[in-house]
């Protein structure tokens, strides 16, 4: 916002000095008339996305859909919580990642289930107790707090239970763009669709016992009592029947020191190098101070899927062939950047901007435009940018990730 106002002010000043105030007023009137929209408008969306309604002159063509919001999707509400999702159906170019926003009440469960994709999660509010059963017979249990993560590989069964007075809300990320939370493998659904005599033979139970098993709609999310045991007591109980896993499937990102930090913000990078269980999904947890800019960069192998947690900002995406798009983003929005597309993100608000960058790959990788220009011979950079050697020397020499 600052840069757009500055450009406008500089343009007005130059025009005023050359042609006088009359010419300035005429030109401004013509400009306002060109972008005016006397027909119907959704003013709520216009106010939220002024950069889409009145795009910067550098925008051109189309880079595809780069914005959606969880607040625009259907929310499935159960007795015990709710869920909604943004997938390839909402952002067609997002073939590698889909996301689910889920809320679980105190004591309630996301029932025992498994997926065809890996599940990476970020706890937004509250806390939960999670379980995961491994193919080697191991059992993982942990309590996850706000700001922390877990990663459950595809095919491994798990559960999530809300703790405390308010339960929890978390973001789930899957390395499968067409993923649907409605198509998970649910324990109750399986039991319902297995003949009773086979259940009796499998469990070694009589008809009276198997008659208690769920027979209605799948549980999915359901209300329950808070766990009676502490985490240490649950761990002691399961150790009687199962081994501890070789990998830790949770990551205490809330205690992690920033990977990059300066006066304009910070980035925490979580990938398979510091979270080995997350072998297929990597992430950046970004905080931008007001006026801070996530520098111009791109990712060389995969697309970027974003979840905006707090604050307001705008993102410009360059898609080659003179295509570029600028959009405004707010909390609970999803952003998308196609693989190798150049982009930057600016905090346009008065509070810290916090968002997640997610990638369907084991390692976080990016190319910094500043770092690239400073790493090449100065004569090469000058020939391409028309900047003087002194000006090139003023560009930050390393990949700072955040500038201001």
Annotated binding site for Mn(2+): 113, 115, 119, 158, 297, 299, 304, 343
C-alpha 202, offset from chain centre: 41
Q: Among residues 346, 351, 357, 390, which one is catalytic?
A: 357
CA distances from 26 to 22, 54, 347 (A): 6, 19, 33
Do the beta carbons of residue 335 and residue 329 sit within 8 Å? yes
Bind-site residues: 113, 115, 119, 158, 297, 299, 304, 343
What is the rounded distance in angstroms from the CA atom of residue 77 to the CA atom of residue 19? 62
The token pair that represents 318 in the structure block: 């360059």
CB neighbour class for 313 (10 Å; exposed up to 12, middle 13-18, buried from 19): buried
CA distances from 168 to 65, 127, 255 (A): 30, 5, 19
What is the DSSP-derived secondary structure letter of residue 243? Answer: B
What is the DSSP-derived secondary structure letter of residue 255? Answer: G
CA distances from 61 to 2, 64, 322, 323 (A): 24, 9, 7, 5
Q: Which residues contact 228 (CB under 8 A, 6 or more apart)?
A: none
Annotation says 357 is catalytic:
yes
DSSP 323-359: -EEEEEE-TTEEEEE-TT-EEEEEE-SSS-EEEEEEE
H-helix or E-strand containing 27?
helix 2-35
Q: Which residues carry out catalysis?
A: 357
């Amino acid at each position: 916002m600052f840069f757009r106002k500055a450009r406008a002010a500089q343009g007005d000043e130059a025009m005023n000095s050359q042609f006088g105030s009359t010419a300035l007023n005429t030109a401004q009137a013509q400009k306002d008339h060109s972008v005016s929209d006397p027909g119907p408008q959704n003013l709520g969306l216009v106010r939220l996305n002024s950069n889409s309604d009145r795009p910067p002159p550098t925008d051109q063509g189309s880079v595809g859909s780069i914005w959606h919001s969880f607040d625009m999707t259907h929310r499935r509400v159960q007795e015990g919580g709710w869920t909604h999702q943004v997938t390839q159906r909402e952002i067609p170019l997002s073939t590698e990642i889909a996301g689910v926003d889920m809320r679980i009440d105190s004591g309630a469960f996301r029932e025992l289930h498994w997926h065809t994709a890996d599940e990476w999660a970020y706890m937004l509010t509250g806390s939960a107790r999670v379980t995961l059963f491994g193919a080697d017979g191991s059992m993982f249990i942990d309590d996850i707090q706000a700001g922390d993560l877990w990663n459950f590989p595809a095919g491994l069964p798990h559960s999530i239970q809300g703790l405390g007075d308010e339960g929890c809300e978390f973001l789930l990320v899957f390395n499968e763009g067409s993923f649907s939370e409605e198509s998970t493998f649910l324990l109750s659904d399986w039991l319902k669709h297995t003949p009773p005599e086979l259940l009796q033979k499998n469990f070694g139970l009589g008809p009276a016992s198997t008659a208690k098993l769920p027979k209605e709609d799948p549980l999915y999310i359901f209300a329950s009592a808070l766990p009676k045991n502490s985490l240490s007591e649950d761990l002691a109980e399961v150790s009687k029947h199962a081994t501890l896993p070789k990998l830790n499937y949770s990551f205490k990102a809330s205690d992690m020191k920033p990977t990059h930090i300066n006066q304009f913000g910070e980035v925490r990078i979580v990938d398979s190098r510091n979270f080995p269980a997350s072998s297929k999904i990597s992430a950046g947890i970004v905080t931008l101070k007001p006026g801070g800019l996530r520098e111009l960069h791109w990712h060389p192998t995969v697309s970027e899927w974003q979840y905006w947690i707090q604050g307001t900002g705008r993102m410009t995406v360059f898609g080659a062939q003179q295509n570029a798009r600028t959009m405004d983003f707010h909390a609970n929005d999803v952003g998308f950047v196609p693989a190798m597309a150049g982009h930057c993100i600016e905090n346009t608000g008065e509070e810290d901007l916090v968002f997640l960058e997610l990638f369907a790959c084991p390692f976080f990788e990016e190319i910094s435009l500043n770092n690239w220009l400073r790493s090449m011979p100065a004569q090469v950079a000058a020939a391409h940018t028309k900047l003087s050697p002194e000006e090139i020397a003023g560009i930050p020499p390393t990949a700072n990730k955040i500038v201001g």
